[in-house]
Structure 1
Amino acid sequence: MKKIIITGATGLIGKKLSDELHKSGYHIIVFSRDSRRAKDILKKDYEYIEWDYGKPENWIEKISDSDAVIHLAGINLFAKRWNDHFKKEIITSRRDTTRSLADAIKNSSNKPKVFVSASGVGYYGDGGDKILTEDSPAGNDFLAEVCKVWESEAAEVENVGVRRVSIRTGIVLSPEDGALKRMLLPFKLFIGGPLGNGKQWFPWIHIDDIVGVYRHAIENEKLSGAVNAAAPNICTMNEFAKTLGKVLNRPSLFPVPGFALKLAIGEAGDVVLMGQRVSVNKLLSSGYKFKFENLEEALNDLLM
């Protein structure tokens, strides 16, 4: 039975991923800053470890005893309105936790075979209509800087021969949380529509597929480095809103102007208004088979 450490196991991706791996026979070790709360949330027979990333001596032995480490932890980008203090929290929550895990892996007696760390398509900034591969340059905005730091810290494990995969995640579609959940209410009230001018690319991915990508990253030894994770058939925001309206049998006639979005949620609105036309050829070439390539089929599965 392979042992997998997961941080951020109580989040949207973490809950579904840990459950999927557990059902497949993996031994799940949940690292959490509040292990009791994590156990209450997950309600599964996992192993729960109190994870104070400032005190690695309390959990480093578990690193040495694991086959893989999946790092999903990081403060929610939209938990608060962005200001200098919260932006510092966003970056340190990712940099410091990743550095702590990477250091523990480097110092462990029996190193895990792979370290899979979250990242995001925000790495590229606003890509316009350019097709973005994993070799495309990083953007210059705040979120791009966060992703660069995140990936740089994760890549440290490569210095001791541990395979590293940084999943540049697109917009995960789930009715439980995230962008889709926030867009549902306006559509149900017949006032739904695209965000911004609607022309920005919308790199969506079904929750089942992002879980599948993480599992693929663990099990496919040839996959390494940064990996874009979005459906092959990404679309513009206009196309997404139109398809969502069709699935819900609601109109998509009421766009939310960019200035209104930024008034509502501040600088974080830029994240929604930027687009990334990402290529997923690297993921496809590695052998990953998507469950949902078509947006309408994905939305029907999630909402019907």
Structure 2
Amino acid sequence: MKEIILITGARGNLANVVKDRLSKKYTIRFLTTNKKLVNNNNVFYWNIDDGYINCKALENCNHIIHLAGYPIINRWTKKNKKIMFTSRVNSSELIFEKCKENNIKPKTFISASAIGYYGLNSKGIKSENDNKGKDWVADLVNSWEKSANNFNSIGCRVVNMRISLLISKKIAFLKYNILSVKFGIGMITGFKNRIFSWIHVDDVAKFIQNSIEQNIYSGVYNLATENNITELEFINILRKKYCSFAFIISVPNSLLRIILGERSKIINTNFSVSVKKLKENNFEWTYKKFDKFI
């Protein structure tokens, strides 16, 4: 009999890539807040604010992959910040409480997290043992990981994925940059030598499968490649592939702050993360270099 995996964040790109990767070997279930998607067969309803989960979703569940989270790129209003918190932290706590109430003890709890843990103003190369940053995003991520770690108390192996910039042609960041270059404009936000860490969505799905199937995976992991990229390198790779005569336009930080407010700090981070721990687990990337999948 196939093991059962429950995935939250059913509408996200990553959740669907994970489903496609795992569905041949495992029975996949989803939790969703969208009642229109519910079929009570493999898609079940939950409501975080009401503290409700259809517990049929949890029956005989062997692994939980928690990917739910209101997008951090949305406006940072007081209301939205609360939703960003509850959709990550309260949702994790709700799953934990329902597991305890129903004596359900999954083997593995794998949770999305973010390199925002290190703070938006961080510099240099950050490893999993470095201290938490001091801004609200770092506090959010810290609470997110703590809520996941509750599952240790019921015998789960917990894995927290500090995901860097998630890359796929179907995800907005790359999708819209490609579109812009095809129309002859390559946008650089901030300054051209800004470094960012990244990872392809397929490699995150591969990491999740490894975490389910290999007990050596435990604790916190930075998810990125070894090959960081600068803004200018990124745009030039797109130009080479899609439109070599595209103009490069730099959007200054001052204008970004006017347009995005505080959110501009996400776009202007300038640090990278160590992947030493991934390499120690002999993780093999499908996409090590950015130009290999463009």
Tell me whether the two structures share a fold, i.e. TM-score over 0.5.
yes
More helix by share: 1
- Counterpart CA distance in 2 for 1:146 and 1:109 is 28
Structure 1 CA distance for aligned equivalents of residues 287 and 188 of structure 2: 22
Specify whether residues 54 and 236 from structure 1 end up closer, same or farther in structure 2 by C-alpha distance, changes over 3 A only: same
Residue equivalent to 1:245: 239
Q: Which runs of 5+ in 1 are unaligned?
A: 40-44, 300-304
Between the aligned residues of both structures, percent identity stands at: 28
Q: Which residue, 146, 155, 158 being the options, matches 2:149?
A: 155
Query: Matched residues in 2 for 1:131 and 1:289: separation?
Result: 21
Q: Distance in 2 between matches of 1:255 and 1:230?
A: 26
Q: Distance in 2 between matches of 1:11 and 1:242?
A: 29
Give the aligned CA root-mean-square deviation in angstroms.
2.1
1:73 paired with 2:68, answer yes
Question: Are residues 153 and 78 of structure 1, via their aligned partners in 2, closer, same or farther at CA, if it must alter by over 3 Å?
Answer: same
In structure 2, the partner of 1:126 is 120
2:33 matched residue in structure 1: 33
User: Per the alignment, do residues 58 and 91 of structure 1 end up closer, same or farther by CA in structure 2, a change over 3 Å counting?
Assistant: closer
Residue 11 of structure 2 is matched in structure 1 by: 10
The question of whether the paired residues in 1 share the 8 Å contact of 2:29 and 2:43 is answered with yes
CA distance, structure 2, for counterparts of residue 268 and residue 46 of structure 1: 39
Mapped contact 2:3–2:27 kept (Cα < 8 A):
yes
2: CA distance between counterparts of 1:236 and 1:87?
29
Tell me if structure 1 keeps the 8 A contact 2:70–2:84.
yes
Indicate conservation of the 8 Å contact 1:202/1:240, yes or no.
Answer: no
1:42 is matched with: none
SS of the aligned residue for 2:133 comes to: coil
Distance 2:148 2:41 in 1: 25
Q: Does 1:269 find its partner at 2:264?
A: yes
Say if 2:38 and 2:44, in contact at 8 Å, map to a contact too: no
User: By how many angstroms is 1:252 displaced?
Assistant: 5.8
Instruction: Work out the CA distance in 1 between the residues paired with 2:201 and 2:53.
Output: 33
2:221 counterpart residue number: 227
Report which stretch shifted further, 50-59 or 24-33: 50-59
Q: Give 1:152 deviation, angstroms.
A: 0.8
Task: Report the alpha carbon displacement of residue 46 of structure 1 after superposing the two structures with TM.
Answer: 6.5
CA contact (8 A) 2:118 2:132 kept: yes
Residue aligning to 2:161: 167
Measured after TM superposition, the shift of residue 129 of structure 1 is 4.3
Paired residue for 1:94?
Answer: 88
Gaps of 5+ in 2: none
Q: CA deviation at 1:13?
A: 0.3
For residue 58 of structure 1, report the CA deviation from its aligned partner: 4.8
1:122 Cα deviation from its structure 2 partner? 1.1
Deviation at 1:289, TM superposition (A): 0.9
2:58 aligned counterpart, secondary structure = helix
Which of the numbers 212, 215, 222 marks the counterpart of 2:209?
Answer: 215
- Cα separation, 2, equivalents of 1:38 and 1:268: 33
The match for 1:112 among 106, 113, 131 is 106
Structure 1 contact 169–230 (Cα < 8 Å) conserved: yes
How far is 1:61 from its partner? 5.1
Q: Which moved more, 1:246-255 or 1:212-221?
A: 246-255
**In structure 1, C-alpha distance between the alignment counterparts of 2:166 and 2:247, rounded to whole Å:** 21
CA contact (8 A) 2:48 2:86 kept: no
CA shift for structure 1 position 254 = 1.2
Per the TM alignment, residue 292 of structure 1 is displaced from its structure 2 partner at its CA by 0.6
Give the secondary structure class of the aligned counterpart of 2:83: helix
Q: 1:265 to 1:181 in 2, by over 3 A?
A: farther
Range that drifts further, 98-107 or 284-293: 98-107
Q: Where is the strand percentage greater, Structure 1 or Structure 2? A: 2
How far residue 213 of structure 1 moved from its aligned partner, in angstroms, is 1.5
Contact 2:120 2:265 in 1 (8 A): no
2:293 matched to 1:298?
Answer: yes
Deviation at 1:155, TM superposition (A): 0.7
